[in-house]
């Protein structure tokens, strides 16, 4: 029997479907930038194919990155309308929380500190890397490698100016220069899906008091909201319970499509 939590999630998911699918042209952001995103994703897929990635996990649907880049490579309202809508919604949610977390007095002297995984090269996200009032730190993983190799070094036209960011390894998360230092911490669940959630806690600990922690893809790509049998048997459910149990954060689960957890740090 489904819990009340899952029932609410299902209702919220249905009600949150955007009306942009009905608008002329649809998906304003992705319609305008789909050429760049498709070219970038195709470069990533070509690299993966040349690298002879073990395809057993892809065959059973366990490789989320393969699905993500493959779907983005066909990103358009006509070819892949459901993914286009979901992607646009995901980006708008991310953009909203990113802007809400930005200090009103951010400047070159008092920077808006952001910890994030490297994401798709959407222009208003790339432009922030050239903003002198923003200090962005990227997880040093394959996503950053893809962004640097296939976008920054091959596709970026310099229109926003020099792109500036800091790369860090997960071993750096406990360093004094990272603990409780960031206004906005944004990561996907794939970085922290470990049974004891110790790495998840380290990322959350990087959020300063008053800052925002955002976890993307927190609903097992939507399975948590549409399959009654998944809820209590899912590591995503355990992860959500773990985050909610932290007394130093005020936590909200946003049950739309792929799922999102938004937290405000209220104490040290």
Write out pLDDT tens, residues 34-44: 889 889 999 99
pLDDT at 233 over 90: no
> Residues 37-63: pLDDT tens digits?
889 999 998 998 888 766 665 555 556
Contact by Cβ (8 Å): 108, 85: no
pTM for this entry = 0.86
> Which residues lie closer than 8 Å to 168 by C-beta, 6 or more apart?
137, 138, 139, 140, 178
- Which helix (DSSP H) or strand (DSSP E) does residue 263 occupy? strand 260-265
Q: Which two tokens stand for residue 259?
A: 């799922």
Q: At what angle do helices 64-73 and 81-101 cross, to 10 degrees?
A: 110
What superfamily would CATH give domain 4-265? Vaccinia Virus protein VP39 (3.40.50.150)
Contact by Cβ (8 Å): 182, 115: yes
Domain coordinates in residue numbering, the chain: 4-265
pLDDT at 238 over 60: yes
In this prediction, residue 150 carries a pLDDT of 95
DSSP label of 170: G
DSSP label of 256: S
């Amino acid at each position: 029997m489904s819990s009340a939590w899952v029932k609410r999630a299902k209702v919220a998911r249905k009600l949150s479907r955007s009306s942009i699918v009905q608008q002329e042209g649809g998906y304003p952001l992705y319609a305008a930038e789909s050429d760049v995103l498709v070219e970038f994703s195709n470069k990533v897929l070509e690299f993966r194919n040349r690298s002879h990635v073990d395809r057993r996990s892809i065959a059973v649907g366990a490789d989320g990155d393969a699905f993500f880049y493959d779907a983005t490579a066909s990103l358009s309202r006509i070819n892949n309308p459901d993914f286009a809508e979901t992607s646009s919604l995901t980006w708008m949610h991310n953009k909203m929380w990113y802007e809400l977390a930005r200090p009103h007095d951010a400047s070159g002297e008092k920077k808006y500190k952001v910890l994030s995984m490297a994401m798709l090269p959407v222009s208003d996200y790339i432009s922030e890397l050239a903003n002198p009032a923003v200090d962005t730190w990227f997880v040093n993983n394959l996503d950053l490698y893809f962004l640097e190799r296939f976008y920054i070094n091959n596709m970026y036209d310099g229109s926003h100016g020099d792109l500036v960011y800091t790369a860090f390894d997960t071993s750096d998360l406990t360093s004094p220069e990272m603990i409780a230092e960031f206004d906005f911490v944004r990561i996907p669940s794939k970085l922290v899906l470990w049974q004891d959630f110790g790495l998840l806690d380290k990322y959350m600990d990087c959020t300063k008091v008053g800052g925002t922690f955002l976890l993307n893809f927190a609903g097992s790509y939507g399975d948590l909201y549409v399959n009654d049998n998944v809820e209590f048997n899912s590591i995503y459910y355990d992860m959500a319970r773990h985050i909610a149990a932290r007394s130093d954060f005020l936590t909200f689960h946003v049950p739309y499509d792929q799922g999102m957890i938004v937290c405000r740090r209220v104490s040290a």
